[in-house]
Amino acid sequence: MQHQSLTTAVQEGNAQRRTEVYSLSKVFHLFSYLTFLSIIMPAFTVDPNIAKAKTISTEFYTDPHYFTAAKEKIFSQTWQFAGDTGFVNEPGECYPFYLLENYLDEPLVLTKNKENNIFCLSNVCTHRGTIVVHEQCKVAHLRCRYHGRLFNLDGAFRSMPEFKEVENFPSKDDDLTRLPIFQWGNWLFTSLNKSCRSEPYFKEMTDRIGWLPVNDFVFRPQLSKSYLVNAHWALYCENYLEGFHIPFVHAGLNAVIDFGNYTTELFKYSSLQLGIAKDEEDIFDLPADSPDHGKKVAAYYFWVFPNMMFNFYPWGLSINLIQPLNIQQCKVSFLTYVWKEDKFNSGAGADLNIVEMEDEEVVEAVQKGIRSRFYKYGRYSVTREQGTHHFHRIISEFM
């Protein structure tokens, strides 16, 4: 009995030692894995205290992996500009487009049914994946020209030839995917994430300037323009998000904006830079219930994460859309909506093309410098770069 007890004790001791060795092995492998991650993964975390914070790793701008990863982690999860109601004025009208063409490149189509409801649908047939609507048109139904599958204007499956023998057909999977739409005035926005709420992105802006008659803003394609910028899309956004550079880069804008009273307000997934005029000319006539009443507001510069800018001037609005093309190039589109013709191209909203050229020069210089082996990160001005710090914090959250 004593021998058996001793044997049992030895066996239990060996088992315990094996368990300890196994546990130590797991700890070692976990430590090794974390060490590996720390080597290959850049620090995308940004200290919430702007006085202590360092900017995100330069690898976000220079590593193709993160440029590609941002498609799903950032752009497919947020709201994007889809057009305006003028694209589908009447029932039956359809407007096909690619969401962030050459990046997300998602085929979508805007439609309006006979009840005057606007829909944003996947423009890919649920039978064999071909494009359904190839050009702007007016139709009673959506018909795939490949095999004749028919859809209602709300995306619901309607009919399909030669499918009588197919079991469990049709199902919801045979409908065109319907994406969410947020409409503000005549502007339409959509998201590839069907559960994405619009409020955290747009509510602060729509509430702040809800008194503006945005339905009266008229799109002026002849005044709109696109620019090819040789810089990473995020670098362009960072430049927009701080007024710090205005006295050094924009002589014309600095002449009309009171830099000392230039302020930045931060929201969940948006921000506002409030441009105050130096004189009484070319400012908004603000209603008494506006939180800005009594201020000489020359411009509201709203930014919505990740890549939309809404620049409101006394004459109307310039929507700036930043479209990533590759790791060192983006397309910037200025969409011009005029409200008061007599005030156009005056005040803070004057000479926007000149301002853009000045911005492009400095942003493209940053693109060249960001690749340097001697630059790792920067610090933030506590008083002037709250918007850029906020932007980096949101990128860290999504990435």
- Global model pTM greater than 0.85: yes
E strands, the chain, in order = 79-84, 93-99, 106-112, 118-122, 137-138, 142-143, 150-151, 157-159, 178-179, 181-184, 187-191, 218-219, 225-229, 263-266, 270-276, 297-304, 308-313, 316-326, 329-338
- Ordered strands of the 137-138 beta sheet: 137-138, 93-99, 106-112, 118-122, 178-179
What's the CATH code, domain 199-398?
A: 3.90.380.10
Closest CA to 117 of 181, 191, 196: 181
What local confidence, expressed as pLDDT, does residue 37 receive? 43
- List, for residues 303-339, the tens digit of each pLDDT value: 999 999 999 999 999 999 999 999 999 999 999 999 9
Q: Would you state the structure tokens that stand for residue 199, as one six-digit string?
A: 């409020």
Q: Cα–Cα distance between 256 and 275 in angstroms, integer? A: 9
At CA 165, angle to CA 163 and CA 166, rounded to 5? 70
Q: Cα–Cα distance between 50 and 247 in angstroms, integer? A: 22
Q: Which CATH number fits domain 80-191: 3.30.479.10, 3.30.930.10, 1.10.1040.10, 2.102.10.10?
A: 2.102.10.10
- List, for residues 139-169, the tens digit of each pLDDT value: 999 999 999 999 999 999 999 999 999 999 9
At CA 116, angle to CA 112 and CA 118, rounded to 5? 45
Angle between helices 386-398 and 233-240 (to 10 degrees): 140
| 223 Cβ contact partners less than 8 Å away, ≥ 6 residues apart | 336, 338
Stretch among 41-55, 102-116, 123-137, 230-244 having the lowest mean pLDDT: 41-55
Instruction: Give the start-to-end residue ranges of the domains of the chain.
Output: 80-191, 199-398
In eight-state DSSP terms, residue 112 is E
60, 180, 191, 198, 271 from 185: Cα distances, Å: 35, 16, 18, 15, 20
Q: Cα–Cα distance between 241 and 385 in angstroms, integer? A: 8
* Confidence grade of residue 35 (pLDDT, cut at 50, 70, 90): very low
Question: What percentage of residues in the chain have a pLDDT greater than 90?
Answer: 79
* Number of alpha carbons in the 13 Å side-chain half-sphere of residue 203: 7
Please answer whether residues 155 and 121 qualify as being in contact, where contact means their C-beta atoms are separated by less than 8 angstroms: yes
